[in-house]
Amino acid sequence: MAQIIPFQAVRPTRDKVSLVTSRSYDEYSPAELAAQLEFNPLSFLHVLNPAYTNQQKTAFEKRFRLVHQKYAEFKQEGILVQDEKPAVYIHKIVSKTHTFTGIIVGTSIADYKSDVIKRHEDTLQYRVELFKDYLKFSGFNTEPVLMTYPDNDKLSDWLDRKTKTLADFEFSTTRKDVHYLWKIDDENDIALLQKTFSDIGNIYIADGHHRSASAEMLYDEQPSAENHNYFMSFLIADSNVKIYEYNRLIKDLNGLSKSEFLKKLSEYFLIEIKSQQLFHPNRKHEFGMYLDGEFYALTLMTEKCGFESPLDRLDAQILYNKVLSPILGIADLRNDERIEYLPGKLPVTEIMKKVDDGEFELGFILFPSAIDEIKAIADAHQIMPPKSTYIEPKFRSGLVVYEL
């Protein structure tokens, strides 16, 4: 029984929303970030990076308090305004290739603790603690946890009706995505949603494992504080989420010659040379590889693999178990400097270029994981390897703020 609640969001005013909202802070190059901060005084990036004006480096706690101070200034200046009534919010994103529609709500820490909210990724303790401190001292969160729910006809029909009405916000970004936001504060609508999600049961974290773990840690530290027993989430249907792979780039062959490496690969894979033909896997258990100026198709010989769990069947785990660890000697996927990752949104030619330039020795191209695979791993209480999925949609900072 998944619990959801409405909340009194803080949002930009309608006339300023396109100038206020920003991509996630980490997505900007230094030049892009400097340009935004220099020429757009309304950008939410000023809240996230309040030390920019003085170019000062500060300790984390002081910096987070400065974030809170700048956020308060945005509210005092009327750039951000809090809604009068608790509401849920429908958010629709239309890109060149996809349309995403989901619901922004408060989700329950109790559900997170009791495994009603399922997770599939491990977290790093220092990142969890750091973001917990950010939440504590800044007093707000504007990055909802992305969660999926099983496709539901009742919810789909409700969303379809509501999104045919005039949106509270409609704006475009420089990447030519169009964003819409509807505030839903009608008590009957909210009750309908709460009943529907209660009947749905489990919901699954798609992106935001560190954020949800930080919210739990903050609750454990201050359980009586207002709004700490819920955290902001963006709920979207299983079929509406877009999952890309993360591809792997490897620095060297671990002391092996090319022929020795290919011979070891042939123990578990059928190898087909594609030469200069750009290759991307077309199905599960098929891998692309770029080595020494040539593409290869690697097909797993599944009859040689004893799959005992959902994790064993995951392509990213297979690549680790059969190639990265035993052949290339990469045991720590998070910290080994010999491996790097590229999101599957980028063209295969990016892998080709990095290998041809000598920056890496070879690259592996994976087939994207399916949502059912991710949910099966979460249901089995297993953990996916780092950088297994790059999931969309991505949320814009400053669009909806959940105060703590």
Spatial neighbors of 183 by CB under 8 A, at least 6 apart, are 9, 83, 87, 89, 168
Domain ranges of the chain: 4-240, 243-391
Residue 54 has pLDDT above 80, yes or no: no
Instruction: Note the pLDDT tens digit of each residue in 261-295.
Output: 999 999 999 999 999 899 999 999 999 999 999 99
Look at residue 14 in the predicted model and tell me its pLDDT. 96
% residues pLDDT > 90 (the chain): 90
Average pLDDT for the chain:
95
Residue 341 has pLDDT above 80, yes or no: yes
| 354 burial level (CB within 10 Å; 0-12, 13-18, 19+) | middle
Compute CA distances 175 → 20, 91, 104, 107, 179, whole Å: 15, 17, 23, 30, 11
Look at residue 50 in the predicted model and tell me its pLDDT. 83
Look at residue 233 in the predicted model and tell me its pLDDT. 98
Residue 197 has pLDDT above 60, yes or no: yes
| HEC letters along the chain | CCCEECECCEEECCCCHHHHCECCHHHCCHHHHHHHHHHCCCCCHHHHCCCCCCCCCCCHHHHHHHHHHHHHHHHHCCCEEECCCCEEEEEEEECCCCEEEEEEEEEEHHHHHCCCEECCCCCCHHHHHHHHHHHHHHCEECCCEEEEECCCHHHHHHHHHHCCCCCCEEEECCCCCEEEEEEECCHHHHHHHHHHHHHHCCEEEEECHHHHHHHHHHHHHCCCCCCCCEEEEEEEEHHHCEEEEEEEEECCCCCCCHHHHHHHHCCCEEEEEEECCCCCCCCCCEEEEEECCEEEEEEECHHHCCCCCCHHHCHHHHHHHHHHCCCCCCCCCCCCCCEEEEECCCCHHHHHHHHHCCCCCEEEECCCCCHHHHHHHHHCCCCCCCCCEEEECCCCECCCEEEC
Q: What is the pTM of this model?
A: 0.94
Q: Which of the following CATH numbers is that of domain 243-391: 3.30.1760.10, 3.30.450.40, 3.40.50.10170, 2.60.40.1120?
A: 3.30.1760.10
Instruction: Note the pLDDT tens digit of each residue in 348-380.
Output: 999 999 999 999 999 999 999 999 999 999 999
Residue 52 has pLDDT above 80, yes or no: no
Look at residue 29 in the predicted model and tell me its pLDDT. 86
241 confidence band (pLDDT: 50, 70, 90): very high
Amino acid at 163: T
Note if the bond before 393 is cis, omega within 30 degrees.
yes
Chain CA centroid to CA 93, Å: 15
> Residue 131 corresponds to which tokens in the numbers above?
């973001």
Residue 201 has pLDDT above 90, yes or no: no
Look at residue 58 in the predicted model and tell me its pLDDT. 65
Instruction: Note the pLDDT tens digit of each residue in 287-306.
Output: 999 999 999 999 999 999 98
